[in-house]
Amino acid sequence: MGENGVMFAGETARGWGSVGPKPYGLEKVEWTGKVPFEIQEIVAQPDGFILRFTHPVDPLSAENPANYSVAGFTYKYHSTYGSAPVNRLSCPIRRVEVSADRRSVRIGAICLREGYVHEIKALGVRSAGEGEGLVHPVAYYTLNEIPEGERLIPVETREPEFCVPLVPPSAMQSTKKHPTEAPADWKRRDGERALVLGTRPGMKFDQEELVVTAGETIQFVFRNSDDMLHNVVIWCPGTGQAVGAAAMAMGIDGPANNYVPESDDVLYHTALTQPESTERIFFTAPEQPGDYDYICSFPGHAGIMKGILRVRAR
Ligand SMILES: [Cu+2]
């Protein structure tokens, strides 16, 4: 801490890069005196959560159950690095109550599970007066114990049929943008050109430029020799960083979709690739020559884990 409450924070590029063009940074944080509209606190309830806000909420937006979502999940405990969220289950919201002082909201939800992390989103909630959205509308609460107490939803409301796991479509399956097999009509079954892209420690690809010819068939091999999860996403020229930010906003829905957001700017992508493993996709190079972006869209990586796919004219 510096003088007058000024705070300094150092940043490294090992796993979580700074938000900006440089991989390292020293940030000086100085309070403007304005309290942002945020979730200040979350308190577990027998059948949901109380969200306390830093400013009074706009009651119309705050009492609408559609402006919230709750889902539980957990992680695998194993020797390899990291884990995708598993056993995801959405928790349908049955009641919402705004407090008289409009500073807190009680959410009544079903299908809560002890020992699970609960993702709580309050995307549509606005502040009273200025109608601001939350700076951070997503929160995570590890529900070690569901407390006793007064319920918002009657205990008879069990609705077990709603408590069904949302099975995400397998992230590994072959799709138009994630083509894991060579199309049957390719003249050369394994593609006219093979590209092999690897990783280097510190969230880097081993090449920052790959060159192909417009319209040629490509076998693209991604070798992840790092100890973190990575992917490769090929974008239209100049759109990589914007889509990196969209990938970050996917939250726990990210892994089931390989952290690849829905976007026309996405051309092709690999699956989220485990450490020490290889992914292979087959695609045809764009007909339009130019510099296309490739990035790793795993949250926090896009800023430095990137390169250019140079498409030359035929
Ligand atoms: Cu990465």
Mean pLDDT of 51-73: 95
Own/partner long-range contacts of 149-154 (Cβ < 8 Å, ≥24 apart) = 149/45, 149/46, 150/46, 151/45, 151/46, 151/47, 151/108, 152/45, 152/47, 152/48, 152/95, 152/97, 152/106, 152/108, 153/47, 153/48, 153/94, 153/95, 153/108, 153/110
Distance CA 216, CA 283 (A): 9
Distance CA 46, CA 174 (A): 42
Distance CA 300, CA 314 (A): 36
What the block records as the tokens of 67 is: 């402006």
Pick 301 or 108 by higher pLDDT: 108
Mean pLDDT of 28-47: 95
Mean pLDDT of 36-48: 97
Q: How far is the CA of 189 from the centre of ligand 1 (A)?
A: 29
How far from the centroid of its chain's Cα atoms is residue 302's Cα?
Answer: 12
283 occurs within a structural domain: yes
Q: How far is the CA of 300 from the centre of ligand 1 (A)?
A: 8
51 and 9 housed in the same domain = no
The tens digit of pLDDT for each residue in 200-219 reads 988 899 999 999 999 999 99
Give the number of C-alpha atoms closer than 13 A to the C-alpha of residue 16, restricted to the C-beta side.
3
Beta strands 209-213 and 306-312 are parallel
Q: How far is the CA of 230 from the centre of ligand 1 (A)?
A: 4
CATH of the domain at 139: 2.60.40.1220
157 and 112 housed in the same domain = yes
Compute φ and ψ for 211, nearest 5 degrees.
-120, 130
Q: How far is the CA of 69 from the centre of ligand 1 (A)?
A: 28
Let me know: does 220 contact 233? Beta carbons within 8 Å.
Answer: no
246 occurs within a structural domain: yes
Residue 162 pLDDT greater than 70, yes or no = no
171 occurs within a structural domain: no
Length of the chain: 314
Q: How far is the CA of 311 from the centre of ligand 1 (A)?
A: 23
From the CB of residue 213, how many other CB atoms can be counted at a distance below 10 Å?
15
The tens digit of pLDDT for each residue in 220-279 reads 999 998 878 899 999 988 777 777 788 878 877 787 888 899 888 999 999 988 877 899
16 and 72 housed in the same domain = no
201 and 155 housed in the same domain = no
Count of domains forming the chain: 3
Q: Please report which confidence band the pLDDT of residue 158 belongs to, taking 50, 70 and 90 as the band edges.
A: low
On the 0-12 / 13-18 / 19+ scale of CB atoms within 10 A, 66 is exposed
Q: How far is the CA of 228 from the centre of ligand 1 (A)?
A: 7
Let me know: does 16 contact 301? Beta carbons within 8 Å.
Answer: no
207 and 110 housed in the same domain = no
Q: How far is the CA of 115 from the centre of ligand 1 (A)?
A: 29
202 and 307 housed in the same domain = yes
Q: How far is the CA of 188 from the centre of ligand 1 (A)?
A: 31
Q: How far is the CA of 71 from the centre of ligand 1 (A)?
A: 26
197 and 297 housed in the same domain = yes
Lowest mean pLDDT among 65-74, 224-233, 286-295: 224-233
From the CB of residue 160, how many other CB atoms can be counted at a distance below 10 Å?
8
Q: How far is the CA of 97 from the centre of ligand 1 (A)?
A: 41
pTM (2 d.p.):
0.57
157 and 199 housed in the same domain = no
29 and 53 housed in the same domain = no
Chosen domain end from 162, 177, 207: 162
Q: How far is the CA of 146 from the centre of ligand 1 (A)?
A: 36
Q: Helix-strand-coil percent breakdown of the chain, rounded to 5? A: 10, 40, 55
Question: Which H or E run includes 244?
Answer: helix 240-248
178 occurs within a structural domain: no
Mean pLDDT of 170-181: 87
Beta strands 193-200 and 217-224 are parallel
49 and 26 housed in the same domain = no
4 and 51 housed in the same domain = no
Q: How far is the CA of 156 from the centre of ligand 1 (A)?
A: 46
Own/partner long-range contacts of 136-140 (Cβ < 8 Å, ≥24 apart) = 136/38, 136/39, 137/39, 138/251, 139/39, 139/42, 139/51
185 occurs within a structural domain: no
Q: How far is the CA of 222 from the centre of ligand 1 (A)?
A: 12
Beta strands 25-29 and 7-11 are antiparallel
Q: How far is the CA of 274 from the centre of ligand 1 (A)?
A: 10
Question: Which SS3 state, helix, strand or coil, does residue 256 take?
Answer: helix
What the block records as the tokens of 116 is: 């699970």
Beta-bridge mates of residue 11: 25
15 occurs within a structural domain: yes
Residue 170 pLDDT greater than 60, yes or no = yes
Distance CA 271, CA 258 (A): 6
Q: How far is the CA of 234 from the centre of ligand 1 (A)?
A: 13
Q: How far is the CA of 199 from the centre of ligand 1 (A)?
A: 9
242 occurs within a structural domain: yes
Q: Which domain holds residue 85?
A: 39-162
Residue 140 pLDDT greater than 70, yes or no = yes
44 and 155 housed in the same domain = yes
Q: How far is the CA of 72 from the centre of ligand 1 (A)?
A: 25
Q: Please report which confidence band the pLDDT of residue 167 belongs to, taking 50, 70 and 90 as the band edges.
A: very low
184 occurs within a structural domain: no
Rank 86-90, 185-189, 207-211 by mean pLDDT and report only the highest. 207-211
For 20-37, b/e burial (b = at least 16 CB within 10 A) is eeebeeeeeeeeeeeeeb
Q: How far is the CA of 292 from the centre of ligand 1 (A)?
A: 18
